[in-house]
Amino acid sequence: MTTTTAGRPSGHSLAVVDSTAHGGRSVALTFDDGPDPHGTPRLLEVLRRHHVRAVFCLWGDHVREHPEVVREIVRDGHELGNHSLHHDDMSAWTPERIRADLRQTSALIQRAAPGAPVRWFRAPYGSWGRSPEVAAGLGMRPLGWRLAVGDWEPPGTDELVRRLREGTTPGAVVLLHDGGGDRRQTVEAVDRIIPEFRAAGWRFDGPARRA
């Protein structure tokens, strides 16, 4: 598997955000499946060194296990997203079941980092079902992507850099992972691509507040 662009559901009246706040030659980095006690701190150090802020979509079970990592994400000024409690496919769930899951996940995030806003929701696997409307009703914007580089494989750092270099389009939200496995290749690829993108005139942005 190489790149995917399946971050926006079809047939929904509520648009899912997949573009940057300011458009143009900009990109928004987003990371799923953390917090991870190994990958996330390494990634945070890279982002801190390069002065880049990102969105971290947090898996509830991992938040419960590693609340100190959530606090580190918040201290560095990154934005938070709800990525469900157990990383289940929600595509066939009822709105009531989705709502209960998202509320429980947000409560865990708030317990780990009191007062930190949870502005975003991303459906596991991009299987949205009724979740965009439910998330919006809970005050979260559904967050999609234009490029997923397939770092869950993992294919090697050079390949990840190639996919980022060739697959990123102006104004794109990019999906990467800081948890769910060994993410050293992702961390190394991000460390390499940020200065390369900047040298080519790109800027790092947040996702658009409105789709």
One of 1.10.10.10, 3.20.20.370, 3.20.20.70, 3.40.50.300 is the CATH number of 26-204, namely 3.20.20.370
Query: What is the pLDDT, as a whole number, of residue 9?
Result: 60
Q: Which residue is catalytic, options 32, 33, 151, 178?
A: 32
* Nearest CA among 145, 154, 139 for reference residue 189: 154
Q: Which residue is catalytic, options 62, 83, 87, 177?
A: 177
Q: Where are the alpha helices (DSSP H) in the chain?
A: 39-50, 60-65, 67-75, 95-112, 131-137, 157-167, 184-199
Query: What is the pLDDT, as a whole number, of residue 211?
Result: 56
Let me know if 32 is a catalytic residue: yes
CA atoms within 13 A on the CB side of 89: 4
Q: What is the pLDDT along the chain (211 residues), one digit of tens a residue?
A: 333 445 666 544 478 999 999 999 999 999 999 999 999 999 999 999 999 999 999 999 999 999 999 999 999 999 999 999 999 999 999 999 999 999 999 999 999 999 999 999 999 999 999 999 999 999 999 999 999 999 999 999 999 999 999 999 999 999 999 999 999 999 999 999 999 999 999 999 999 987 5
Query: What is the pLDDT, as a whole number, of residue 151?
Result: 97
